[in-house]
């Protein structure tokens, strides 16, 4: 059984989520419902829940600000939010779960099952910290990526290039390391800093700091620091040359 705290300033949303959890997620026991960030902060620190369902946009103290003031952070965090591009980008950056209002029951069940499976996961606090870095600094130097074994925290500056593989992505790092990640290359294109990372082909995105040479051609090719040669597509050539100030 997972102890849960629900935090949302809209009472109708709070009631709807509570009812869906009671009907469809029997492994959840709701121990507190709060309609503002201040009360949510007190409830989490005093009750120490296993999972927190948190709205982002709340008056006085929003969800991100509330997280900055928490003492206790050993819980699974599931955001419940209206669609907001910046907020969801921050959440994806830290690989935390989120549900878009109105909450879909199947997505709710999946998020709760994931929280239950990862209840002893020690990376939750690191994910929250990464999220707060993004919110405060706009561009932290690490990213949390979901792998088949769990979560991997990697330094952005260590990424040489990324390669699409259907709905997955291979990330190639300095030191001859690579990870297969259950995210599309398009998602990484939206997450990683555009001043450093360039999509050169439908299958590849590179970190231009690791680019050693550009070879002219119809689209051309780039030679990366690890010796890998990658094609630049004709469609991406002009954008690529502009990005490297050629």
Please report the pLDDT score of residue 120 as a whole number.
Answer: 62
Note the Cα 227 to chain centre separation in Å: 30
Does 159 sit behind a cis peptide bond, omega within 30 degrees of 0 on the bond before it?
A: no
Sequence-separated (6 or more) residues with CB below 8 Å from residue 88: 81, 98
Q: What is 2-137's CATH number, 3.40.605.10, 3.40.50.920, 3.40.50.300, 3.40.50.2300? A: 3.40.50.2300
Residue 95 has pLDDT above 90, yes or no: no
Domain 142-243: assigned CATH number: 2.40.50.1020
Quote the pLDDT of residue 139. 62
- Give CA–CA dist 146/194, Å, rounded: 21
**For position 173, what pLDDT does the model report?**
95
Q: Which residues contact 243 (CB under 8 A, 6 or more apart)?
A: 198, 208
Mean pLDDT of the 214-239 span: 94
Confidence of residue 91 (pLDDT cuts 50, 70, 90): confident
Measuring CA to CA, how many Å separate 39 from each of 6, 9, 113, 187? 11, 11, 26, 35
Q: Where in the chain is the domain with CATH 2.40.50.1020?
A: 142-243
**Would you state the pLDDT for residue 224?**
96
The pLDDT assigned to 246 comes to: 56
Asked whether residue 158 carries a pLDDT value surpassing 70, the answer given is: yes
pLDDT value for 121: 65
Q: Which of 206, 209, 211, 210 is nearest to 233 (CA)?
A: 206
The pLDDT of residue 198: 95
- Mutual orientation of helices 85-93 and 124-137 as an angle, nearest 10°? 140
More confident residue, 213 or 95: 213
Ranges of CATH 3.40.50.2300 domains, the chain: 2-137
pLDDT in tens, 34-43: 999 999 999 9
pLDDT value of residue 190: 86
């Amino acid at each position: 059984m997972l102890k849960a705290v629900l935090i949302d300033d809209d009472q109708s949303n709070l009631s709807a989520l509570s009812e869906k959890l009671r009907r469809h997620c029997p492994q959840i026991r709701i121990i507190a419902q709060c309609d503002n960030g201040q009360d949510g902060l007190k409830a989490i620190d005093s009750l120490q829940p296993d999972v927190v369902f948190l709205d982002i946009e709340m008056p006085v103290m929003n969800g991100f600000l509330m997280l900055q003031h928490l003492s206790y952070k050993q819980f699974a965090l599931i955001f419940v939010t209206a669609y907001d591009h910046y907020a969801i980008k921050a959440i994806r950056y830290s690989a935390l779960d989120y549900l878009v209002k109105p909450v879909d029951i199947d997505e709710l069940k999946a998020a709760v099952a994931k929280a239950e499976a990862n209840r002893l996961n020690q990376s939750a606090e690191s994910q929250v910290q990464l999220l707060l870095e993004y919110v405060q600094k706009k561009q932290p130097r690490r990213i949390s990526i979901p792998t088949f074994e769990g979560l991997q925290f990697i330094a952005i500056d260590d990424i040489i290039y990324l390669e699409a593989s259907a709905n997955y992505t291979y990330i190639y790092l300095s030191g001859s390391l690579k990870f297969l990640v259950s995210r599309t290359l398009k998602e990484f294109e939206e997450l990683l800093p555009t001043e450093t990372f360039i999509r050169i082909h439908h299958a590849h995105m590179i970190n231009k700091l690791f680019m050693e040479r550009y070879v002219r051609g119809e689209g051309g090719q780039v030679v990366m620091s690890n010796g890998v040669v990658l094609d630049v597509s004709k469609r991406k050539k002009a954008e690529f040359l502009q990005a490297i100030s050629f």
